[in-house]
Amino acid sequence: MIEALNLSKSFNSGAAIAADNISFTCADGEIVGFIGPNGAGKTTTIKMLTGIIRPDSGKVVINGFDMAEKPLECKKIIGYISDNPDMFVKLTGYEFINFMADVYGVPENVRAERIDYFAEQFGMEKSVFSQRMTGYSHGMRQKTMIIATLVHDPKVWILDEPMVGLDPQSAFNLKRMMREHADKGNTVLFSTHVLEIAEKVCDRIMIIDTGKLIYTGTMDALKNGEEGGDLEKIFLKMTAEA
């Protein structure tokens, strides 16, 4: 469960407000989609949730742990995929995955199993993992990143544009994995620019614009009566008004 309470964040000593008093809860068993125009504050909010940046005010609570007070407990629960997969490219896939598994203390046999499972899901030859990631395509890096992030079987998934660069089959499998994970009573929060994805997999969506949360609620409630239930039209209208 992710609880965000009155999160605010500004950059350059207050010159740019990236998040303005944002509060929401992502319950267990729920997939929440995070949408909004470029520069709206999605990545900034996600970075506050994962402990990468500290909010100017407000607090983050993950499964009952306060990020400011018990950062390590929080971070152990979270699996985070950043919007930039070009990390540690000098390492091989295996070295990177093992690194992340070590950091989260995943036992050897468990990680071998999980690597097998994900490689299968993403249609990756395991021999690729013996090569350095400098030679990977964008999508291969993204997949390796996802595997490295999920190898410790985190309860809370926080994914910043996870579908970018994935082929249709892998994207489909990732969506299915998100559903399965949530159905086991876990929490998934992800940002995306593809409204169809948000529409299909999310139990709830949050719309953010210029740092403010302008809508949170279920898909059905949002569509109820408005614009013939077309998410695209609703989204465009809401972000234009705000």
Partner 1 sequence: MRPLIIRRLASVIMRSNSMEEAGNKKRKAWIMGFTAFVLLFVVIPVTVMTGFFTFILTKGLMQTGHPEFGIKLMYGLISIFTVVFGINVIFNELYFEDDISYLLPLPLKPEELVLSRFLAVFVGENMMQFAVVIAVVTGFGIAHPMNVLQWIISLAAGFLLPVIPMAVIAIAGMLLMTFTRFIKKKETVRRISYAIIILILAAGAMMLVSIDISEIVVFIIEGTASNVLFVKILDIIFPQTGLIADFMASGSVWPILVFAAICLLSLVLLSVCARLFYMESVTRLNETTHVQKNAASSQSVVFRSAGMSLFIKEMRILVRTPAFMTNCVAANFVWPVFVLIFAKIMRADLGRAALSAYFAEQSHKTAALAVILAITMVTAAMNCLGSDSFSREGKGFDYIKFIPVSYKLQWNVKTAAAMIWTLAGTVPFFTIFVIYAGFEVITAVITMVLVISSAFFVTELGMLLDSLNPKLFWLDALSALRENYNTVFCMGITIVVCGLLAGGLFLPVPAPVTAGIEALLLCVADVVLYLVSMRAGVHNLMQIGE
Beta-carbon contacts of residue 99 (< 8 Å; ≥ 6 apart): 88, 91, 148
Query: Binding Mg ion by CB under 5 A: which of 3, 41, 43, 61?
Result: 43
Residue with smaller CB distance to partner 1, 58 or 71:
71
Q: Per-residue DSSP letters for 135-156? A: GS-HHHHHHHHHHHHHTT--SE
Q: What's the one-letter identity of residue 14?
A: G
Near partner 1 by CB under 8 A: residue from 75, 141, 143, 175: 75
Least Å distance, CB 206 to ligand ATP, is 12
Query: What does 129 bind: ligand ATP, partner 1, Mg ion, none (CB cut-off 5 to 8 Å by kind)?
Result: partner 1
Long-range contacts from 47-54, C-beta under 8 angstroms, 24+ separation: 48/4, 48/7, 48/9, 48/19, 49/2, 49/4, 49/78, 49/158, 49/189, 50/75, 50/78, 50/80, 50/158, 51/75, 53/9
9 versus 143: smaller Cβ distance to ligand ATP: 9
Closer CB to partner 1, 100 or 213, in the complex: 100
Contact residues for partner 1, defined by CB under 8 A: 9, 11-13, 15, 47, 50-54, 71-76, 78, 80, 82, 84, 86-88, 90-92, 94-95, 98-105, 107-108, 111-112, 115, 126-127, 129-132, 134-135
